[in-house]
Amino acid sequence: METAEIRRRFLSHFENAGHTVVPSAPLLFDDPNLLFVNAGMVPFKPYFLGQETPPFDRATSVQKCVRTLDIEEVGKTTRHGTFFQMNGNFSFGDYFKEGAIRHAWELITNSVDDGGLGFDPDKIWVTVLHTDTESRELWKKVAGLPDERIQNRGLLDNYWHMGVEGPGGPCSEIYVDRGPQYGPDGGPEADEDRFLEIWNLVFMQEEITNVTAKDKFDVVGPLPQQNIDTGMGLERVAYLLQGKENMYEIDEVYPVIAKAAELSGRAYGADHDDDVRFRVIADHVRSSLMLIGDGVTPGNESRGYVLRRLLRRAVRSMRLLGYDDPALPELLPVSLDRMKASYPELETDFARISQIAYAEEEAFRQTLGKGTQIFDVAAGETKKSGGTVLSGDQAFALHDTYGFPIDLTLEMAQEQGLSVDQEGFRALMAEQRARAKADAKAKKGVHADTTIYRQTIDAFGPTDWLAYTNLITESKVLALLSGGAQVPVLSEGQVGEVVLDRTGFYAESGGQNADAGMLRWDGGQAEVLDVQRPIRGLVVHQVRVQSGELTTGADLSAEVDHDWRLGARQAHSGTHVVHAALREVLGPTALQSGSYNRPGYLRLDFGWGGALDPEQLHQVEHVSNRALREDLQVSQHWMSLPEAKEFGALALFGETYGEQVRVIEIGGPWSRELCGGTHVERSSQIGTVVLTSDTSVGAGHRRVEAFVGIEGFEYLARERDLVSQLTEMLKAKPDDVPAKVNDLVSRLKATEKELEKIKSAQLQGAAGDIAAAAVDVDGVAFVGHRAEGVGGGDVRQLALDIRGRLQDRPAVVVVVGTAGDKPSAVVALNPQAVDRGLSAQQLITVVGQHIGGRGGGKADVAQGGGTDLGGIEPAFGAVREALRG
């Protein structure tokens, strides 16, 4: 049974049982504590935590998940994978233990002809919490399971909670006996390879606190309502029903392995190390496909770093299999072909997905080239010093600075007869991970505690948010917050947070900055500094009290700054216009991946492989302003997410959308996007769009910036004033300015070249005199020369010229230039000096010790720099002493 069919049967089974089918949330879910969605219940957390009222009593989903803690273990075992799908059914105060057990039992044991999964009932085992006698009795009653196939387990195995105070409860896990060839008899307690868990039923029934470990917490009491949260691993069920050994061999994953084997000429199943690489490739290619599909782009931080690592590990593994050509163009379409049955949007968006993936592979191939050069130098130095071990520091620098994989370092070191200090490398990696974890924990801590906000919304309900219709609202202060706690009053000069019963202030979201404005009440006023939604449904205003005291329960006027809002509307609508213009000029793959706008300014990130040339930028700007001149209607529509997708609305990757979404149209289908921001009523109200830059923000991604409205006109006015000044200075017409400036630049360059020739001739002329002044130090001709105002390559050239005039005996030349008020030194030795055992490398170290720097090079020429001009003469003296030694 194919994986997509298992998925379909699961959803159909629960839909027929009265569950609302909820589409998978994007992997980039709106949860500050998560990098990616990592469990099927994540999108339902607000309902379980009581932060929101669920719109249904029972639901079912197949949720896309990514777990990143075990990336290094992928392929080494048959259990670790980064991307997986979690089938789940959920009850919010509706059915409880008996219903969950009955639904699960019927699905897994009903025949295939009856819509079930067809597992043999005699092969099913379950575990329950040792104190949960109710679940044990229900399994006997509903499923007819005998006592010996119902095993008791402790809190570590069969109790669920989120790791923090909140809901918890016992769980019951369902296992399938794979047969004696996989291990000993005795149920899950004896062997979890033979008895494989496929489903976990969580009975959420009590509130817990003081959580210090999985099995250490205090129970406060029963929850107001009992909930069900279950999770069935789709890939596990698939490989059981398909008769495969592991998740890498199911129909959605194995075709990538088969293609990799075809490309590399290696056979899967013939060699353990190769098999690990094949599994890494299959897992990481599929995971990357899904992550890019949900809006992740490769980068050096956070989610982008995870994706970059997955893509590069896949490419690296192909290289280790002996395939050096671009691999992703061969592998990614294979993964798409298997995943599109369940996620058809991948096929629609594949042009963008593949463009990003292929650009990252190309960037990595270039990185490998640079890293190889660095490795060759490090390996050469190790051999030259008589060593056989590449240091952990060097291996870590290759990995951390140049993105060079340790496996590749090991492989190349072996080819050159070297080993690598792996313990040193691992120690440095562990230090880096510890720093990253500490940093992540610190950052997480900023957002993690939302207790005060949950308490506020529990007490008062969601904010009546009127930003689309009202700039001024008559509001009441429901709560004042400071230092993570409620306070009765905010005094003059104090900064705090204000929760109102209603507000017209726009809370920062979707790339749009928060509104500015004032809160005014009888006897005082406060400036609104920021507006946020710390949890869904609650709008919080950060304010500074300018006069008077603001108290809980006060009536006030919440007034959005009119000019600020106008500029914000122009910028947000301008973002939509520029996005549509980019797609019109560059094509449909130029899709927005992020944006930011504030009054008068916008920036937009989009998928594109290279810099836009001046003509393309001009066309985008022209199309944008043409849309403004045409005075296009800007309209909004509310509809369900499936209706919006069918309507052709574009969604911003990484955003989380509710059941009802808002579609903004500008000129009908020309620009049709899901958006929660504020907008103008007609495109002409944007005023103007002035593109100011196009820059790279990572492989396959560009960023354009622009001014709109009055800020756009002011930018053009500054440009006009600049041109006016140039025309006055050059005594030229505006159209002639570029040619005049070009002529001046050409003449300047020519003059600089002539000056360089003169300077070089002067230095060459001086070289003879300087060489003639050489002093003898124990049979070595020594020159120490301070070259005032000379720097860079001129110092080196002067040193070499002097050395060239001293060929009749061993010679050591030290030239230190003083350009830029910083010494730059070159030590040059002729062959006779080198034969005598002298070394420029050693002597540049002596110089560096006195001028506050260091350097390096070869035996005959070395160079370096420093910071102390006062150390030049002492450096010459130190070299003389070194020569005498």
Mean pLDDT for 248-276 is 94
How sure is the predictor about 341, in pLDDT bands with cuts at 50, 70 and 90?
A: very high
- pLDDT for the residue 817: 92
Name the residue among 603, 699, 574, 24 with its Cα closest to residue 307.
699
Q: Are 627 and 648 in contact (CB under 8 A)?
A: no
* Mean pLDDT confidence for 385-413: 80
The pLDDT value given to residue 83: 94
Is the pTM higher than 0.75?
no
Identify the band that residue 413 occupies on the pLDDT scale cut at 50, 70 and 90. Answer: confident
Q: What was the pLDDT predicted at 175?
A: 97
Q: How far is CA 840 from the centre of its chain?
A: 46
pLDDT given at position 79: 67
Say what the pLDDT of residue 441 is. Answer: 47
Of 79, 61, 69, residue with least CA distance to 14 = 61
* Mean pLDDT across the chain: 90
At 356, list the tokens.
Answer: 């990003």
Res 410 pLDDT > 90: no
Identify the residue with better confidence: 690 or 33.
Answer: 690
Residue in this structure with the two tokens 């629960």, named with its chain if needed: 14
> In DSSP terms, which residues pair with 59 in a beta bridge?
20, 90
Q: Binding site annotation covers 576?
A: yes
Burial 753-784 (b: 16+ CB within 10 A, else e): eeeeeeeeeebeeebeebbeebeebeebbbbb
675 annotated to bind ligand? yes
Per residue in 115-147, pLDDT (tens digit) is 999 999 999 999 999 999 999 999 999 999 999
pLDDT band for 449, please (50, 70, 90 cuts). Answer: low
Cα-based distances in Å from 421 to 273, 394, 401? 21, 9, 18
pLDDT of residue 446: 37
What's the confidence (pLDDT) of residue 245?
Answer: 87
What are the E-state strand segments in 22-130?
58-66, 83-92, 124-129
Residue 584 confidence class, pLDDT cut points 50, 70, 90: very high
Contact 565, 528 (CB under 8 A): no
For position 501, what pLDDT does the model report? Answer: 96
pLDDT in tens, 423-446: 888 888 888 767 655 554 443 333
Across 216-225, 631-640, 753-762, least confident range: 753-762
Position 653 confidence tier, pLDDT thresholds 50, 70, 90: low
Q: Count the helix, strand and coil residues of the chain and give each as a percent rounded to the nearest 5.
A: 45, 25, 30
Give the model's confidence band at 403: pLDDT under 50 very low, under 70 low, under 90 confident, else very high.
low
For the segment 722-737, the average pLDDT, to the nearest whole number, is 87
Determine whether the annotation assigns residue 13 to a binding site: no
Q: What is the pLDDT of residue 444?
A: 38
Asked if residue 735 has pLDDT above 60, the reply is: yes
The lowest-confidence range among 98-112, 240-254, 381-395 is: 381-395
Q: Is 655 exposed, middle or buried (0-12, 13-18, 19+ CB in 10 A)?
A: middle
Q: How confident is the model at residue 478 (pLDDT cuts 50, 70, 90)?
A: very high
**R_g (Cα) of the chain, nearest Å:** 35
What is residue 736's predicted lDDT score, i.e. its pLDDT? 86
